Structures are given as structure tokens and as C-alpha cells.
Structure 1
Amino acid sequence: MTLSVSLRADRPVPLEVAFEVAPGELLALVGHSGSGKTTILRSIAGLWTPSSGQVRAGGTVWLDTGAGIDLAVHRRSIGFVFQSYALFPHMTALGNVLTAMATPDRAEAARLLDLVNLHGLADRKPAQLSGGQQQRVALARALARKPSVLLLDEPFSAVDRATRERLHAEIIALRSHLAMPVVLVTHDMNEAQLLADRMLVIQNGRLVREGTTAQVMADADALRAMGIREVAALLPAVIAGIEEDGLTRLDTATGPIFLPGVQGDPGTRLRVRIMAHEIILSRARPTGLSAQNILPARVTKLTQGDGPAVTVHLSVGEAELLARITRRAARDLALAPGDRVHAVLKAMSVARDHIAPASRHV
């Protein structure tokens, strides 16, 4: 079922947003602290009521202030993962999951713990689990409600970077089992880009940009709203194997690229986040360079922002790549929409946390 949201409020922050989330889609609400992201999530969950608005899950109305409808939290079919996890400290992992079930089912609770990679830890209490493991229990508990909508409120902010990377991969893998709309609140644009199908950039309670991850990350205004100076794009790829020099070969729509430290079996689909400033453009196919990653591309658009830089939008198969070059370089190359070029990427320029499994929407 599709989640439809339309909200207006004056307090605690001005709020004016409207959006939809399709079944199986992950939508990221991104913005600075105090921008209204969590207020939106709480409005969907029924934890806070706006001045006016509507929330619908499929054909079921959860909120319609004009009609006087405001269902209580327990009557809304949601799974909610809080930033603090909010686990019961005196209960085991299994006990925490069982509390969310209308009819407790130990076998089903154990299955959910296995689904989030907690096999063998059902009898441990939260204090005996790492932060990442506690987050997985909270996720299993949210799924135990068999929700129509899954809400994630900064679920990775309390864990270290290495754990966060593992959890990102697990969330994406888990999505193959989920058919409900998923709404993620985060202040981290990199996290949103790796996990989400679409982003909403929220500023002072209002929607300032909406689009796919590629569209938002290519929008200078949206990035400025988040205080981000750099742009990036996601390149879909498939692991082909390990080369003799230790680099992993990834096949893309227009050719192979070779990167270090990529984990996964041959055939695994990935999304590689490539920073725009790491791309070098050439009219002719370069020769005599140490760079092995040379992708044929077509220029679709040039965006000139403030300062000396130009963002070149490139079509690479069905994906969009972004290159950030100087105005002088763009002028010397005489670039125009429709031109064929070669995009060169240094293998060592892609960090490990810029690689994530592909979602089914990619």
C-alpha cells in the first residue's frame, strides 16, 4: 500500500510538507537538527498531531484533521525504530520482540531475529549486546508488528562508523523481504544516498527539494541547504571477480571498473558512490595513464554554479554520473549536451563507505 502524507503546523516548528511513499520504496527525510524531520515521522506514527493534515496508508485513513480522525498509535499499522532503540532492559532480545506481537509467537520472533542476523542471541539482554546488535533487536521488534509502514528515526547515529557500514548493508539486504513503504530520517546525505530510492530535503519544516538520490545530489541549491559543497552520483555495478593485482572488477553498463577492498561474491549487485571532483573528462580515450577505469559517457547537461566550477551531467548506460571540472576545462573541451566523452576514475579515490549493495529499486 502507498503511504500518503500532507501536514501543516505552526508549532513546534513551522511545517508544510506533502509526499507519497510507494510499497517497497525507501524515502529519506534529510535535514539539519530542528528542521522538522522527526516531527513529520511522529505525525505519521500518531505521536504528535499537526494543526491540519492527512495521513493515509492505502485506503485506511490514520489522520484527517478536517474530518476529526486521529487514530491512536496502537491503531496505526506502523513499525518504529527509535534513535535510542527503546528496548526493555530487563527482557531478552526474544522477549523484546514478543512484546510487539498481537499474539506472541516464539517461533516467529526467533525467525525475525534470524532475519536481522541475530541467530543465537535470543536469550541475551540489551546490556549484553553491542550497539549494532541492539539496533537489530529494535528492527526485529518493529517488524514483529507486521506493519504497513516502517519508520526509522536516525537508527544508525548511536553506533561507530564500521558498525554503521555493516548495518547499511544489512538494511539494504533486508529490503528484499519488505513490501511496505519505509521512511528514514537522517541528517547524513551520504547515508541517504546509499540507502534511499528518493530523498526529501527539509529546511525549517518545508520541503526544499524532492527527487531521486541522483537528482538531489546533483542539485547545488539542495546541497547548499545541507551545507554540502561537493556533489556525487551512484553508479550501479555487478561484481565480476578479483583480479591478480587484488583489485575487484565491477561491470557497469558501459564497461568495467577496478576498485580495491570491495566485498561480495561474483554476481552481487552494488551501488558505487563516486565524488564528482574525482572524475577526469577526455574527448579521446586516454592512453598511457595509470587509471584503469575509463567509461564511455554522453554529456546530457552542464550546470554552472557559483565560483569557477562546472558540473557536467553524464549518461553512463541508464545511470547518471557527475563530473566537477573548472570552467576553463569545460571551455577547452568545448562541451555541449550530446557530446561523447570518456570519464576517468582513479581506483584509489573510492572509499569503502562509498560502496553499498544495490536496492531492488536501482
Structure 2
Amino acid sequence: MTGLDLNIRLQRLNFTLEIDLDIALSGITALFGRSGAGKSSLLRVIGGFERAEGRLRYGGSLWQDRGHFVPPYRRGVATVFQSPTLFAHLDVAGNLAFAARRAGRTGDLAAMAGRFGLTALLKQPVHTLSGGEAQRVALARALLTDPKLILMDEPISALDQAARSEILQYIEALRDETKVPILYVSHSVAEVARLADRILLLEEGRVLGFGPTAAILSDNAAGPAFGGEEPGSLISARVAAMTADGLCALRFSGGTILTPDPLGAEGTEVRLLIRARDVMLATERPAGISALNVLPATVSAIEPVGPVSALVRLDCGGTALGARITQRSVKALGLTPGAPCHAILKTVALARD
């Protein structure tokens, strides 16, 4: 892991970004929060595109302090924005070659083009590319610069659904196959659930929370920063088999989940986002219901949510799950910490945008 240590303040007319943070980065860390929370502003400060007051250190290198400022081109940072900033006067090969020359990696150009499915597009002018193709060029170019850190600011938000799905797969591959930390700005819970290893939660220019994705997504207190979206439980599962009647069986520490969605070949790892509102509870295993997924669980905690509802936290074989039910139901079922129960999943959603 690489350390990011910053104590910065950025003052604007109606907004103040004030961050004091010392964290270790690896994989994908999502900067998440409502519009105006300061996600993109923080990313620009880290990249050196906007100068704030204070100190910023990354991986042992001092990038900013009083009287000291390292410009963006000397930080070893690559950027991928919502709209790809490609050189319009160059074709795809020219854009990649520019990045490769700067990093002394010209011998890697052909392999990188193949990795991102660009070989057939190398001689194509960039203005003729689709949005998804242009973003693939941006990703390949970013990696060719041999960066110490990659900054991504909503890289799929301007794409259609097919292109979004494609680019997400490439970003997942970057996360899994390289050791370059990625800071990723998004306002989509499903997108963050799919990609992020950790979440840095921002609210009104301040850090509201930082931790593993599953922990932040299930934190009821973080609800306001999700813009009204209900927190959920993140389940890491693996495709076990396709059943004879066409269902996909997913194995996780708490048992097996069935879904009608084909999620890949046997062994494929997937993340499931289960909303608390989509989980019902029963003290006895129910019979005669249409729900496919009934999981044995143990109540670990009960948290009031307003005057009527409660969030019941569950342990399903070591995997955390949450159920939002009424406080009346909690009393009627006699639920207390340590009590056994059954969680009935009304909806199973693949964590994807």
C-alpha cells in the first residue's frame, strides 16, 4: 500500500474543502458523496490541478507544503476524466505513442493496444471514435505513462449503458491486474459497490467516513451522504453452477444464492448489493413462498431508524447483512441480539451501474 497524507484547505465563495487525512491506498478507493460534497475538488488538489493551502504527501514524496509545490506533470499521476482529453490532431496510435515516449515505454504500445482492444483502431482519428472507444484510449494512455497513481473522475457517466458495462470491465481488470492505486470519483452506489475496495465518504467538504466498501455501504449513519439512497450489504460470491432450470447458483460464506441472471462461468467472482429494504425476516424457515433465497442468520444488532423502522443487522455465516423492518415487527418476532432467524431476500442485484 502507498500512503496519502494530506492536510489541506481550499476556500471558494460558497464552499470550503477542509481535509485532514492519512490513509494507505491500494486497489480502488472511491471518493463518494452527494453533488457538491467536494469529490472532484479533492481529486484536482491531489493531482496538482488546483492549489490549496496546506500539506500533501504521497508515497514518501512531498507534493505540496508551504513554499513548495510539485506541478502535475512531475507527480507521476495519470488522469481519466468524464470526457477523454485526447489529442485531436493525432490518431489513436499517436495518442498512445505520446504517453509511451514520455515514460520510455514505446515497446509496450502494441501490447497495451491489444489489452484494451484498440489494435484495429490505431490509425483511426480520435474524432471518429465512439465514447466507449475514446475512453479505452484514455485508459490505455494513462497506463502507458507508468503512473504512481491514477485519478478517475466519473469516467463512465457520459457513456451509454453498453459502453459503461464495457469500460467497467476494463477498470476492474486494472484494479485486479496492476498495483497502481486508483482514486475514483462517483455518485453511483452500484458503481462504487462493484469497483471499490474502500470508500472515502465526503459531505460538505469534510470527511464523513473512510473504510472498506462493505462497512461504509452498510453504515446507517452514512445515509445522508448517499443522497437518499438506502445503505445496503455487499456480498462477495462466486458462481458455483447453472441449475437445470436455468438459475445461476452463487456460493458465499453464508450459503447459496440463486438468481435468474447469468453471471459468468463457474468460478467467476461477483459482488451482490442487497438493500436492507429487500430483506424480510422470519423466526421459522417459511414454506409456501415464491422467494428463492432464504438464509439462516443470527441477529447481531438492532438499530432504530426514525420513529417507526429499525435496521436489524445479521450475521450470515460470517457475512454481514441488514434488514429494514418496522419496530413493531421486531417486537412481534421477539428479535434480540443473538437470536436465530431466517433472512428472506426479495431481490438480488448484481453490483453494477
The secondary structure found in structure 2 opposite 1:215 is: helix
Residue 322 in structure 1 maps to residue 322 in structure 2: yes
Instruction: Write the letter of the residue equivalent to 2:88.
Output: P
Is the Cα contact below 8 Å between 1:23 and 1:180 reproduced in 2?
no
Q: Cα RMSD over matched residues?
A: 2.0
Q: Could you say what secondary structure the match of 1:133 adopts?
A: helix
**What SS does structure 2 have at the residue aligned with 1:120?**
helix
Q: Deviations over 1:203-257 (max 9, x none)?
A: 2211122232222222333222332142211111110121121111111112111
SS across alignment from 1:324: strand
Matched, 1:81 2:80: yes
**1:212-251 matches, cutoff 5 A:** 212-251=212-251
Aligned residues: 350
Aligned match of 2:35: 33
Query: Residue 2 of structure 1 aligns to which amino acid in structure 2?
Result: G
**Which runs of structure 2 are paired with 1:249-288 in the superposition (5 Å)?**
249-288=249-288
- The structural deviation recorded for 1:87 is 0.8
Instruction: Tell me which residue corresponds to 1:55.
Output: 56
Deviates more, 1:303-312 or 1:209-218: 209-218
Cα distance, 1:186–1:45 mapped onto 2, change above 3 Å: same
Residue 329 of structure 1 aligns to a residue in which SS?
Answer: helix
Deviation at 1:61, TM superposition (A): 1.1
Aligned residue among 42, 45, 50 for 1:43:
45
Q: Equivalences for 1:140-155 in 2 at 5 Å?
A: 140-155=140-155
Residue of structure 2 aligned with 1:350, choices 342, 348, 351:
348
Q: Which moved more, 1:71-80 or 1:157-166?
A: 157-166
What code does the residue aligned with 1:32 have?
A: R
**CA displacement, residues 326-362 of structure 1 (integer Å, 9 cap, x when unaligned):** 111111112122222211114xx2345x359xxxxxx
Q: Does the aligned pair in 2 maintain the 1:270–1:355 contact within 8 Å?
A: no
**1:14-29 matched pairs, under 5 angstroms:** 14-29=16-31
Change in CA separation of 1:311 and 1:166 when aligned onto 2, cut-off 3 Å: farther
What does 1:91-240 align with in structure 2 at a 5 Å threshold?
Answer: 91-101=90-100, 102-103=102-103, 105-240=105-240
Change (3 A) 1:194 1:103: closer
Change (3 A) 1:126 1:178: same
The answer to whether the Cα contact below 8 Å between 1:303 and 1:311 also exists between their aligned partners in 2 is yes
Q: Deviation at 1:290?
A: 2.3
Question: Which sections of structure 1, spanning at least 5 residues, go unmatched?
Answer: 357-362
**Structure 1 counterpart of 2:243, one-letter code:** E
1:137 Cα deviation (Å)? 0.9
Deviation per residue, 1:120-171 (Å, 9 max, x gap) = 3222222332211211111111111111111101111110233223322331
Is contact 2:33–2:227 with CA below 8 Å preserved after alignment? Answer: no
Shift of 1:23: 4.6
**Matching residue's letter, 2:301:** K
Cα distance, 1:106–1:308 mapped onto 2, change above 3 Å: same
TM-score (norm 1): 0.90
Contact 1:110 1:122 in 2 (8 A): no
Identity of aligned residues (%): 37
Distance (Å, rounded) in 2 between the aligned partners of 1:57 and 1:167: 27
